[in-house]
Structure 1
Amino acid sequence: MVRLPAQTDPPLSPRQTLPTMYDLPSEHLEEPGLPDEFHSLQPHLLRQTFQPVNWNPEEIFVGVDINLYYDLHHPNWYKRPDWFAVVGVSRLYEGHDLRLSYVLWQELVSPFVVVELLSPGTEDDDLGRTIRQAGKPPTKWQVYEQILRVPYYFIFSRYTNELQAFRWVAGAYESAELTNGRLLIPPLGLSLGLWQGCYQGIERLWLRWFTSQGDLIPLPEEDAIAANQRATLAEERAE
Structure 2
Amino acid sequence: MFFYDPTLCLPSSEELPDSDDTPVDNELQDLIPGLLKSILAWLWRDRWDWFFGVDMGIYYDPDLPAIVPDGFLSIGIPRVIDEELRLSYVLWEERRVPTFVLEVVSRRHRGEYSSKKALYAQMGVKYYAIYSSRRRRKPRLEVYELVDQEYHLLTGEPVWLPEVGLGLGRDRGVYQGIEREWLYWYDQSGQRIPTPEERAEQAEAWAEQVRQQAEQERQRAEQERQRAEQERQRAEQAEIKLQALMDQLQQRGIDPNQL
Normalised TM-score (structure 1) = 0.72
Residue 144 of structure 1 is matched in structure 2 by: 120
SS in 1 for 2:92: helix
Bigger shift: residues 43-52 or 192-201: 43-52
Question: Which sections of structure 1, spanning at least 5 residues, go unmatched?
Answer: 1-30, 129-138
Are 1:91 and 2:66 an aligned pair? no
Q: How far apart, CA to CA, are the structure 2 residues paired with 1:176 and 1:184? A: 9
Q: How far apart, CA to CA, are the structure 2 residues paired with 1:77 and 1:182? A: 34
Larger gyration radius, structure 1 or structure 2? 2
Q: Counterparts of 1:60-79 in structure 2 under 5 Å? A: 60-72=50-62, 74=63, 76-79=64-67
Q: Looking at both structures, which has the greater relative contact order when contacts are Cα pairs under 8 Å and sequence separation is at least 6? A: 1
Q: Residue 33 of structure 1: CA displacement? A: 7.6
Are 1:48 and 2:38 an aligned pair? yes
Q: How far apart, CA to CA, are the structure 1 residues paired with 2:31 and 2:155? A: 26
Q: Residue 200 of structure 1: CA displacement? A: 1.6
**Aligned Cα root-mean-square deviation (Å):** 2.5
SS in 2 for 1:188: coil
Q: How far apart, CA to CA, are the structure 2 residues paired with 1:64 and 1:103? A: 14
Residue 106 of structure 1 is matched in structure 2 by: 93
Q: How far apart, CA to CA, are the structure 2 residues paired with 1:52 and 1:127? A: 31
**Residue deviations 1:74-106 (CA, integer Å, cap 9, x gap):** 2x332110000111111123x453111111111
Q: Residue 214 of structure 1: CA displacement? A: 1.9
Are 1:126 and 2:101 an aligned pair? no
Q: How far apart, CA to CA, are the structure 2 residues paired with 1:126 and 1:217? A: 27
Which amino acid in 1 is paired with 2:147? V
**Residue deviations 1:125-182 (CA, integer Å, cap 9, x gap):** 1101xxxxxxxxxx32222001x2111110000212710110011121001002xx31
Residue 221 of structure 1 is matched in structure 2 by: 197
Q: Is the 8 A contact 1:155 1:164 kept in 2?
A: yes
Q: How far apart, CA to CA, are the structure 2 residues paired with 1:232 and 1:43? A: 32
Q: Is the 8 A contact 1:155 1:165 kept in 2?
A: yes
| Identical-pair percentage | 35
SS in 1 for 2:124: coil
Residue 146 of structure 2 is matched in structure 1 by: 168
Q: How far apart, CA to CA, are the structure 2 residues paired with 1:204 and 1:53? A: 22
Q: Is the 8 A contact 2:52 2:74 kept in 1?
A: yes
Residue 188 of structure 1 is matched in structure 2 by: 164
Q: Is the 8 A contact 1:54 1:187 kept in 2?
A: no
More strand by share: 1
Q: Is the 8 A contact 1:52 1:188 kept in 2?
A: no
Q: Is the 8 A contact 1:81 1:116 kept in 2?
A: yes
Which amino acid in 2 is paired with 1:86? S
**Residue deviations 1:18-66 (CA, integer Å, cap 9, x gap):** xxxxxxxxxxxxx988332222221211111236978963111111111
Question: Which sections of structure 2, spanning at least 5 residues, go unmatched?
Answer: 1-20, 218-259
Q: Counterparts of 1:12-23 in structure 2 under 5 Å? A: none
Q: Is the 8 A contact 1:64 1:82 kept in 2?
A: yes
More helix by share: 2
User: Structure 1 residues 225, 212: closer, same or farther in 2, change over 3 A?
Assistant: same
Which among 161, 170, 184 is matched to residue 208 of structure 1? 184
Q: How far apart, CA to CA, are the structure 2 residues paired with 1:186 and 1:91? A: 20
Q: How far apart, CA to CA, are the structure 2 residues paired with 1:191 and 1:183? A: 5
User: Structure 1 residues 120, 232: closer, same or farther in 2, change over 3 A?
Assistant: closer
Normalised TM-score (structure 2) = 0.67
Residue 155 of structure 1 is matched in structure 2 by: 130
